[in-house]
């Protein structure tokens, strides 16, 4: 069932949207009683002429909340003792604009600092949102029931559709960082959505490859990769009627899985009811396998790759990329010289062996 959606404004004008599983929950009747300063100005984008990439410079993010105690969690519902970001006393799934955004759609800097003739600058237009998966501070995505995963997917689809329609938005990216090892600054189970004003470097590289492949074969690159993995089977971890999870043959990370729908769709809004329902059980199974690898919660990044909103949209193929930096019980993979300076990954774990270990759990 589609969740009930109610949108309100926080005291500083930011938008907050409740996605409730039971109709008539009435969350919008709770005003935000805090006094907050206006949101900081939009970041600045600078173009790196050497790599042809845009870099966001967002100095204000240095002041963001860092690992607060649980009774001062900004993502828990508001209580009598603490007014959080969420004014209601409870919620199912809630989305709101980030107080410390990397990109913002409401504020235009009066003037952009010019750098040099070689480095064009532009305002960091776009939007950054926070997605709370549950009001339970001590839970985790992997502990949610499938019905809640469905509500999260519906919320992400809603946000993708709305943010994609903004004229300044080139790409919408929902993701979750889990674990302090990844750099999480709030323990409460949550994800984020970045609506970028530019196509990201990773997506730009995919589009170049997908365009070449289409011109040569007339087919979608990702669809062909998925079909080849389904046929090879050796790297497939799990699957159901609508989705297949596999370790990419050239995985960059020690443990990395792609979860892709069998039907080519550009983004989350294009998924059918049946596809949305089938996602949760398989994804929860994957997270269980991840946590089972070393018998403790696995730090991970879970990243939705969606089609761009402009040129090249038809080349997109929705998929989720789930990966961890943990390569052994007490070892993390750090992006050191080769990866950080050259963008050249060296993976210590053979993808076929990673798939086998994940299947065996």
268/356 Cα distance (integer angstroms): 29
Contacts of 34 (CB under 8 A, 6+ apart): 10, 11, 83
Beta-strand relationship, 44-48 and 243-246: unpaired
| Number of shown-chain residues binding Zn ion (CB under 5 A) | 5
| Closer by beta carbon to Zn ion, 76 or else 284 | 76
**Min CB(188)–Zn ion separation in Å:** 3
137 scored as a contact of Zn ion (CB under 5 A) = yes
We find the least distance from the C-beta atom of residue 46 to Zn ion, in angstroms, to be 35
Q: Which stretch binds Zn ion (CB under 5 A): 72-80, 172-180, 199-207, 337-345?
A: 72-80
| Contact pattern for Zn ion over residues 34 through 53, marking x by CB under 5 A | --------------------
Q: Which is nearer to Zn ion, 76 or 251 (CB)?
A: 76
Residue 30 assigned as binding residue: no
Asked whether residue 73 is marked as a ligand-binding residue, the answer is yes
User: Residues in the chain, how many?
Assistant: 361
CB 136 → Zn ion: shortest distance, Å? 8
Angstrom distance (rounded) from CA 264 to CA 197? 25
Closer to Zn ion by Cβ: residue 73 or 152: 73
CB closer to Zn ion out of 86 and 225: 86
Span from 129-137, 147-155, 195-203, 280-288 in contact with Zn ion (CB under 5 A): 129-137
Q: How far apart are CA 304 and CA 318, in angstroms?
A: 7
Q: Does the annotation list 305 as a binding residue? A: no
Is residue 188 a contact point for Zn ion (CB under 5 A)?
Answer: yes
Report d(CA 220, CA 314) in Å as an integer: 9
Which residue, 69 or 218, is less far from Zn ion as judged by CB? Answer: 69
Residues 40/108, Cβ–Cβ less than 8 Å: no
Contact 257, 247 (CB under 8 A): yes
Q: H-helix or E-strand containing 273?
A: helix 273-293
Q: Which residues contact 35 (CB under 8 A, 6 or more apart)?
A: 11
Catalytic one among 190, 213, 258, 305? 190
| Residues with Cβ within 8 Å of residue 99, at least 6 apart in sequence | 12, 14, 36, 39, 64, 74, 85
Looking at 8, 16, 17, 75, which residue binds Zn ion (CB under 5 A)?
75
User: Does 76 interact with Zn ion (rule: CB under 5 A)?
Assistant: yes
- Give me the residue whose beta carbon is nearest to Zn ion: 73
> CB under 8 Å to 267, separation ≥6 — which residues?
157, 160, 164, 172, 306, 307, 316, 318
**Among the residue ranges 186-194, 200-208, 326-334, 346-354, the one whose residues contact Zn ion (CB under 5 A):** 186-194
φ, ψ of residue 197 in degrees (nearest 5):
-85, -5
Measured from the CB of residue 184, what is the shortest distance to Zn ion in angstroms? 12
Do the bridges between strand 4-9 and strand 53-57 make them parallel or antiparallel, or are there none, so unpaired? unpaired
Is 213 a known ligand-binding residue?
Answer: no
Q: Does 88 engage in binding with Zn ion (CB under 5 A)?
A: no
Q: Which residues pair with 19 in a beta bridge?
A: 5, 93
Q: How far is the CB of 75 from Zn ion (least distance, A)?
A: 5
Which one, 75 or 325, has the nearer CB to Zn ion?
75
The least distance separating Zn ion from the CB of residue 229, rounded to whole angstroms, comes to: 38
Q: Which of 16, 17, 56, 73 binds Zn ion (CB under 5 A)?
A: 73
Q: Which residues pair with 196 in a beta bridge?
A: 171
**Where does residue 150 fall: left (phi above 0), alpha (psi -120 to 50 degrees), or beta otherwise?**
alpha
258 catalytically annotated? no
Does the footprint of Zn ion cover residue 259 (CB under 5 A)? Answer: no
The annotation places the binding site at 73, 76, 137, 188
Residues with catalytic function: 190
The annotation places the binding site for Zn(2+) at 73, 76, 137, 188
Which residues form the interface with Zn ion (CB under 5 A)? 73, 75-76, 137, 188
């Amino acid at each position: 069932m589609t969740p009930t959606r109610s949108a309100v404004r926080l005291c500083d004008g930011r938008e907050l949207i409740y996605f409730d599983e039971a109709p008539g929950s009435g969350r919008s009747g709770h005003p935000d009683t805090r006094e907050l300063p206006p949101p900081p100005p939009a970041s600045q984008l600078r173009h790196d002429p050497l790599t042809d990439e845009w870099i966001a410079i967002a100095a204000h993010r240095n002041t963001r909340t860092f690992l607060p105690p649980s009774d001062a969690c900004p993502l828990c519902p508001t209580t009598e003792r603490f007014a959080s970001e969420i004014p209601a006393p409870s919620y199912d799934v809630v989305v709101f604009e980030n107080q410390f955004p990397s990109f913002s759609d409401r504020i235009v800097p009066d003037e952009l600092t010019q750098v040099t003739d070689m480095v064009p600058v532009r305002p960091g237009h776009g939007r950054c949102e926070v997605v709370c998966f549950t009001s339970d501070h001590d839970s985790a995505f992997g502990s949610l029931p499938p019905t809640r995963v469905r509500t999260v997917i519906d919320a992400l689809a809603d946000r993708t559709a709305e943010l994609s329609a903004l004229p300044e938005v080139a790409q919408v990216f929902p993701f979750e960082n889990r674990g302090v090892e990844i750099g999480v600054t709030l323990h409460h189970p949550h994800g984020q959505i970045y609506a970028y004003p530019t196509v990201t470097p990773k997506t730009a590289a995919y589009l170049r490859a997908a365009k070449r492949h289409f011109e040569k074969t007339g087919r979608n690159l990702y669809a062909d990769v998925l079909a080849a993995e389904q046929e090879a089977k050796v790297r497939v971890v799990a699957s159901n009627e609508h989705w297949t999870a596999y370790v990419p043959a050239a995985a960059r990370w020690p443990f990395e899985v792609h979860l892709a729908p069998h039907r080519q769709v550009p983004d989350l809004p294009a998924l059918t009811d049946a596809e949305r329902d089938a996602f949760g059980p398989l994804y929860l199974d994957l997270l269980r396998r991840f946590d089972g690898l070393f018998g403790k919660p696995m730090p991970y990044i879970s990243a939705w790759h969606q089609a761009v909103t402009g040129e090249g949209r038809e080349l997109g193929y929705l998929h989720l990329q789930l990966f961890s930096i943990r390569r052994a019980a007490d070892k993390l993979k750090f992006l050191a010289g080769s990866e950080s300076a050259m963008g050249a990954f060296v993976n210590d774990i053979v993808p076929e062996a990673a798939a086998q270990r994940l299947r065996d759990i």
